[in-house]
Amino acid sequence: MSFITIEGGEGTGKSTLIRGLADAMSVQGKDVVLTREPGGSPGAEDIRTLLVTGEADRWDAMTELLLVNAARRDHVERVIRPALARGATVLCDRYVDSTRAYQGMRGVPRDLIDSIHKQAIGVDPDKTLVLDVPPEQGLTRAAERGGDARFESMGLAYHTKLRDAFLAIAAAEPERCAVLNSTQPKETVLASALALLSA
């Protein structure tokens, strides 16, 4: 299992889990690359700043789609592909399922998202862990952490739809995706994730 993505709404504990996975895999002697989206390469991190700062309506949905894909292309070409080619395990905090969920919810057609992904990106995860918490709890956690204001300012109805979008993606691809209940203690979530990845 070499390309693993972690997905979910705001405050679902992705960063905590991914750090735990990276530590556990490093102890097992694996070459692990821990990365994130939007971002993960210098150019993509610059694009991330454009995406996560400013007013909620700063970008329309199509512009957002193009920005996340511009960032992803740079990240994939400069970081992910080379790492996979040398045999490393890549752990990525968010990837194309976030585009399907976030930009899809904003009205971008799914076939356009998938077509750009296929033609401009062309690398799919082997396994995707979707972290799930009730949206109220996720928003509270995200607010406590003081994260990226633009995406977190959208309200509870929005975050409820987002959760449903991630659950639908996971249900449609049960071979690739597993949903983890992230209201459990973080040690339990990590143990479940490690078991799923070694299965």
Angle, alpha carbons 9-12-16 (nearest 5°): 130
Q: Which of 24, 50, 52, 88 binds ligand TMP (CB under 6 A)?
A: 52
Q: At closest approach, how far in Å is the CB of 69 from ligand TMP?
A: 8
**Residue number, 78 or 151, with CB nearest to ligand TMP:** 151
Cβ atoms of residues 163 and 132 within 8 Å: yes
Report if residue 44 touches ligand TMP, rule: CB under 6 A: no
Residue 134 in the binding site for ligand TMP (CB under 6 A): no
Burial 42-51 (b: 16+ CB within 10 A, else e): ebbeebbebb
**Exposed e or buried b for every residue in 84-104, given b needs 16+ CB within 10 A?**
beeebbbbbbbbbbbbbbbbb
- Whether 6 and 176 have beta carbons less than 8 Å apart is answered as no
Q: Which span (19-27, 75-83, 115-123, 143-151) binds ligand TMP, by CB under 6 A?
A: 143-151
The reply on whether position 76 binds ligand TMP by CB under 6 A is no
Q: Minimum distance between the CB of residue 141 and ligand TMP, rounded to whole angstroms?
A: 12
Positions in the binding site for ligand TMP (CB under 6 A) = 10, 37-38, 51-52, 68, 94, 98-99, 102-103, 147-148, 151
